[in-house]
Amino acid sequence: MDAEWIFDDPSIPDETLLYRRVTKHPDNLVPDLETGRWTVGIALFTYRGDGLSIYASCLMEQEQISDIDLIDWDRERLARFETRVVRRGERGDPFVNGHPPAGTVAPGEEFETPGGVVACVSEHDGDSRVQRSHGLVRIALKPETRDAKKYWNAFRVKLISTALIKAAPRTEWSTSIEK
């Protein structure tokens, strides 16, 4: 594990909500084949570069912006999940003993893969308040390192199962949407 790799900032409260852009093209929502409603798929939670790009509500409050200000709602939707879920992991880092998580990870149950959140000003968004609200979700392993994919796969199941979606600025958050 890289000692210089900081994957969690404890000053970000557990109550912080994390927002993630959901592009319409390509569409990162998948249909629930039993209900026909659309929900987040694994493509929304891809681990590359410096981590998973998000906006943190604690930073947004400092900038006095809301979720409505984060994206272009004509081209994007928004997903939301909680910092406490990102950090949740009942047995700590499963790679400490060199054994990657091989399954049986159930959200809220006795074995989960923990992650963290760090603030990171974005260089890509036009609005400086949005830029300063940006952060990254990370796990203990850097992207592109050995075993990071397996670790991240176990981690992102938590996000897939708990994320909510908002398709328009004035609608309610929901686990799935109509298309």
Partner 1 sequence: MTVLSPKSKNAKYLSKISIEKEGVFWKSSIDQDAVIAPLYEYRNPMLSTVIEIGARCVAVVDIVASPSVQTFYSFPARSSNETDQIREIESVKRKETVLSAAFVHAVHRLIALRESGIDAGAQARLLMTLRRSMSGTSIYPSITSDGFGGAIAEWRAGRRFIAIEFTPDGDYSWIATDASGSLERNEVGSGQPDASELGAALHTFSEQVGSANPNWRQIFA
Q: Are 12 and 117 in contact (CB under 8 A)?
A: yes
Closest distance of CB 78 from partner 1, Å = 16
The vertex-153 CA angle with 148 and 159, nearest 5°, equals: 125
- Give the interface size with partner 1 as a residue count (CB under 8 A): 34
DSSP secondary structure letters along 59-93: HHHHHT--GGGTS-TTTEEEEEEEHHHHH--TT--
The reply on whether position 137 binds partner 1 by CB under 8 A is no
Q: How far apart are the first and last CA of the chain?
A: 42
Using the structure block, give the residue that is written with the tokens 């906006």.
55
Binding to partner 1 by CB under 8 A, coded x per residue (else -) over 29-48, reads: -xxxxxxx--x-xxx--x-x
* Between 43 and 68, CB nearer to partner 1: 43
Q: Output the smallest distance, CB 21 to partner 1, in A.
A: 10
Cα–Cα distance between 54 and 172 in angstroms, integer? 20
Q: How far is the CB of 6 from partner 1 (least distance, A)?
A: 22
Which residue, 132 or 158, is less far from partner 1 as judged by CB?
158
The yes or no reply on residue 161 touching partner 1 (CB under 8 A) is yes
Q: Contact residues for partner 1 (CB under 8 A)?
A: 23, 25-28, 30-36, 39, 41-43, 46, 48, 100-107, 109, 149-150, 153-154, 157, 160-161
